[in-house]
Amino acid sequence: MIQLFHVTKSYDKSFAALKDVSLKIAKGEITFITGPSGAGKSTLLKIIFGSESPTEGQIIIEGRNYFRIPPREITNLRRRIGFVFQEFKLLPNKTVYENVALSLKIMGVGAREERERVLKMLTYLKIIHRANFKTISLSGGEQQRVAIARALVKDPAIILADEPTGNLDPEMSIETMELFKEVNSRGTTVVVATHDKGLIDRYARRAIHLEAGRVVC
Amino acid sequence: MLTGVRTNLSYLIFDALRTIRENPASAIFTAVTLGFSLAILAFFFIIFVNLNMAASGLADRVHMVVYVKDGFASYGPDKIKKDALGVLGVRSAEYVSKEAALKELKDSLKGRESVLDAVDINPLPASVEIKVLDAYMEPMLFGAVVDGVRRLQWAEEVQYSGKWLKKFSAFLKFTEVLAAVIGVFLTAAVVFVVTNTIRLTIYAKKDEIEVMRLVGAGRAFIMLPFVIEGVLHGLAGGVVSIGMLSVGMYAVSANVPAQMSFVIAMPATVPVISAALLSAGLIMGGISSVISLIRFLK
Ligand SMILES: Nc1ncnc2c1ncn2[C@@H]1O[C@H](COP(=O)(O)OP(=O)(O)OP(=O)(O)O)[C@@H](O)[C@H]1O
Ligand SMILES: [Mg+2]
Q: What is the ipTM of this complex?
A: 0.88
Banded model confidence at residue A156, pLDDT cuts 50, 70, 90: very high
User: Could you read off the pLDDT of B104-139 as tens digits, one per residue?
Assistant: 888 877 777 676 676 677 778 888 888 888 778 777
CB A42 near ligand 1, within 6 Å: yes
In terms of C-beta distances under 8 Å and separation of at least 24 residues, what long-range contacts does B38-42 make, across chains too?
B38/B190, B38/B237, B38/B238, B38/B240, B38/B241, B38/B277, B38/B280, B38/B281, B39/B240, B39/B241, B39/B244, B39/B245, B39/B248, B40/B186, B41/B183, B41/B186, B41/B187, B41/B190, B41/B280, B42/B241, B42/B245, B42/B273, B42/B277
Q: What is the DSSP letter of B96?
A: E
Is residue B171 pLDDT above 80, yes or no? Answer: no
DSSP SS3 for A50: coil
pLDDT for the residue B47: 79
Banded model confidence at residue B58, pLDDT cuts 50, 70, 90: low
Amino acid at B75: Y
Rounded to whole angstroms, what are the CA distances from A57 to A25, A61, A155?
16, 14, 29
Banded model confidence at residue A47, pLDDT cuts 50, 70, 90: very high
- Residue ranges matching CATH 3.30.70.3040 in chain B: 63-160
Å between A108 CA and nearest CA of chain B: 4
Write down the mean pLDDT value for chain A: 91
CB A40 near ligand 1, within 6 Å: yes
pLDDT for the residue A184: 93
Write down the mean pLDDT value for chain B: 82
Q: At what angle do helices A111-124 and A96-107 cross, to 10 degrees?
A: 130
Rounded to whole angstroms, what are the CA distances from B191 to B25, B38, B39, B158, B178?
20, 11, 14, 52, 20
Å between B193 CA and nearest CA of chain A: 27
Burial of B151 (0-12, 13-18, 19+ CB in 10 A): exposed
Choice between A13 and B194, residue whose per-residue pLDDT is larger: A13
Choice between B270 and B242, residue whose per-residue pLDDT is larger: B242
CB contact under 8 Å between B22 and A93, yes or no, is yes
User: Could you read off the pLDDT of B182-215 as tens digits, one per residue?
Assistant: 888 877 887 787 788 778 878 888 888 999 989 9
How many CA atoms lie less than 13 Å away from A124 in the CB half-sphere? 22
CB A140 near ligand 1, within 6 Å: no
CB contact under 8 Å between A108 and B6, yes or no, is yes
pLDDT for the residue A119: 96
DSSP SS3 for A156: coil
Amino acid at B46: I
Question: Which are the contacts of B198, defined by CB distance < 8 A and separation ≥ 6?
Answer: B226, B229, B230, B233, B288, B289, B292, B293
Residue whose C-alpha is closest to residue A179's, from A139, A141, A126: A126
The C-alpha atoms of residue A115 and residue A106 are separated, in whole angstroms, by: 14
User: Could you read off the pLDDT of A80-116 as tens digits, one per residue?
Assistant: 999 999 999 999 989 999 999 999 999 989 999 999 9
Is residue A129 pLDDT above 60, yes or no? Answer: yes
What percent of chain B stands above pLDDT 70? 88
Q: Which neighbouring-strand residues pair with A193?
A: A33, A162
May I ask the CATH architecture of the domain B63-160?
Answer: 2-Layer Sandwich (3.30)
Residues of A in contact with B218 (CB under 8 A): 72, 75, 106
Banded model confidence at residue B84, pLDDT cuts 50, 70, 90: confident
Residues of A in contact with B11 (CB under 8 A): 105
Residue nearest to atom 9 of ligand 1 (CA): A43
pLDDT for the residue A214: 93
